[in-house]
Amino acid sequence: MIKVLRLGHRRGRDDRISTHVGLTARQWGAKEVVFSGEKDDKMLESQRDIIERWGGHTEVRYNEDWKSEIRGFEGLKVHLTMYGLKLDDELENLKKQFKDDLLVVIGSEKVPRWVYHNVDYNISVGNQPHSEIAALAVFMDRLKGIRESFDGAKVWVEPSETEKYTRKQ
């Protein structure tokens, strides 16, 4: 089971970024996406609507007590940060340690030091000013690739060279 924990959501300012985090987590196979920070039912609902239509059963939820999501997790815990060890150097090691359960923690502007000390790895996807969406996508892509199957979909895309084709159930 893959879980993504997104820290420090701010209503309004982060709506679209957090939505991209959710879409990205789903596209690369997360079973759960947990948001902390400010509670934002509208943002969660809009993601649930997308999942309802496009399938795949990813669960999206809020938890104010984000530390419990890290503490209570059994499996590999990775925090993505521009300050961490290079993904290129750690990937083979991470692949070996990734069995079934993975928690990926991604931040906001300021991630508490507690996070750095309570995960198994702090990993950077480029030691540069950082898009947490890009970092999440590339980390998941390197570790396991794109998820292609989304069961229960009411609508899906028919890949096309030049057109926008969707099919409906």
Distance of CA 73 to the CA centre of its chain: 15
Beta carbon of residue 146, minimum distance to a second copy (angstroms, whole number): 5
| Residues 148, 31, 23, 163, Cα dihedral to 10° | 20
**H or E segment and range at residue 107:** none
150 part of the interface to a second copy, by CB under 8 A: yes
Q: What are phi and psi of 36, to 5 degrees?
A: -120, -170
Beta carbon of residue 145, minimum distance to a second copy (angstroms, whole number): 8
Q: Which one among 86, 93, 112, 152 touches a second copy, defined by CB under 8 A? A: 86
In whole angstroms, give the CA distance from residue 17 to residue 15: 6
Which residue reads 């790895």 in tokens? 121
Q: Which one among 72, 161, 168, 169 touches a second copy, defined by CB under 8 A? A: 161
Residues that bind a second copy (CB under 8 A): 13-14, 16-17, 20, 23-24, 26-28, 50, 54, 81-88, 116-117, 121-122, 124-131, 133-138, 141-142, 145-148, 150, 156-157, 159-166
